[in-house]
């Protein structure tokens, strides 16, 4: 489903973000990418989402090599992928509803479906009472839950999450990780970049990174 073949990403001709990375993620996998800050975790996710292109090597998603695809083909792949960004990337002056609905509206879904789906998803994460509040007025945990809803509202096959619980307290972190676990059990392929250990790693494929390289891979039993 996702294959990296000797992928290297270089910035400014001299800065290696990742170096000679090989990995394979199968459909339905639950994966963690771990390592210290600067290890290359975020770059790996951006390559999976087509936000970056490799300097060397190849990245394939759904059996399609991203190198050489035009923007419309990249957008087609993103229709089947969700991304929970570390900085949320919400539109602060928009309401919770508008932030959640935008992906479905871009995809051209009927307005009746959009309203129903948004309400159902906001209720699922406990934000239905915040539907008309602006995103900038939410707490950190609420913004994180809204970012998750926006990433999964179109029912993607793949969900990428960059440090999704890094700024949350322990109860909220456990809540969020349980949501990821439930989504994976429903068949969504999940790839989480995290600098912290998590009990869910016992059931996951874990890629450990350091200095831009994968130093070990542990497969779930």
* 111-147 tens-digit pLDDT: 999 999 999 999 988 899 999 999 999 998 899 899 9
Q: Are 6 and 28 in contact (CB under 8 A)?
A: no
Pairing of strands 158-162, 189-194: parallel
Among the listed residues 138, 147, 151, 142, the one whose alpha carbon sits nearest the alpha carbon of residue 188: 151
Does residue 54 carry a pLDDT above 90? yes
Edge-first strand order for the sheet with 64-65 is 15-25, 2-11, 56-61, 64-65
214, burial (CB in 10 Å: exposed 0-12, middle 13-18, buried 19+): buried
Where does the pLDDT of residue 166 fall: very low under 50, low under 70, confident under 90, or very high at 90 and above? Answer: confident
Q: What percent of the chain has pLDDT over 90?
A: 73
User: How does the average pLDDT of the chain come out, rounded?
Assistant: 92
Please state the rounded mean pLDDT for residues 191-209: 91
Please state the rounded mean pLDDT for residues 89-96: 96
pTM as predicted: 0.93
For every residue of 155-205, DSSP letters joined together read --SEEEEESTTTTS-HHHHHHHHHHHHHHHHTT-EEEEEESS--GGGGGSE
User: Looking at per-residue confidence, does 13 or 194 come out higher?
Assistant: 194
Token pair 């399609």 is found at 64
Residue 61's SS3 state is strand
Where does the pLDDT of residue 221 fall: very low under 50, low under 70, confident under 90, or very high at 90 and above? Answer: low
**Residue 165: what pLDDT?**
84
Instruction: Count the alpha carbons within 13 Å of 12 in the hemisphere toward its beta carbon.
Output: 3
Please state the rounded mean pLDDT for residues 91-99: 97
């Amino acid at each position: 489903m996702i294959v990296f073949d000797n992928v290297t990403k270089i910035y400014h001709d001299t800065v290696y973000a990742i170096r000679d990375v090989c990995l394979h993620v199968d459909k339905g996998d639950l994966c963690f990418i771990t390592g210290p800050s600067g290890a290359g975790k975020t770059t790996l996710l951006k390559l999976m989402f087509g936000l970056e292109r490799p300097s060397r090597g190849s990245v394939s998603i759904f059996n399609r090599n991203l190198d050489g695809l035009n923007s419309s083909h990249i957008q087609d792949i993103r229709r089947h992928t969700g991304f929970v960004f570390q900085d949320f990337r919400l539109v602060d002056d928009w309401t919770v509803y508008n932030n959640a609905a935008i992906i479905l509206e871009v995809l051209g879904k009927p307005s009746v479906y959009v309203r129903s789906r948004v309400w159902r998803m906001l209720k699922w994460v406990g934000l239905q009472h915040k539907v008309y509040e602006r995103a900038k007025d939410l707490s950190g945990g609420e913004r994180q839950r809204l970012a998750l809803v926006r990433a999964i509202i179109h029912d993607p096959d793949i969900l990428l999450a960059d440090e999704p619980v890094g700024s949350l307290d322990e109860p909220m972190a456990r809540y969020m990780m349980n949501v990821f676990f439930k989504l994976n059990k429903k068949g969504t392929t999940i790839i989480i970049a995290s600098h912290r250990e998590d009990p869910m790693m016992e059931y996951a494929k874990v890629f450990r990174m350091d200095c831009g390289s994968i130093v070990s891979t542990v497969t779930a039993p």
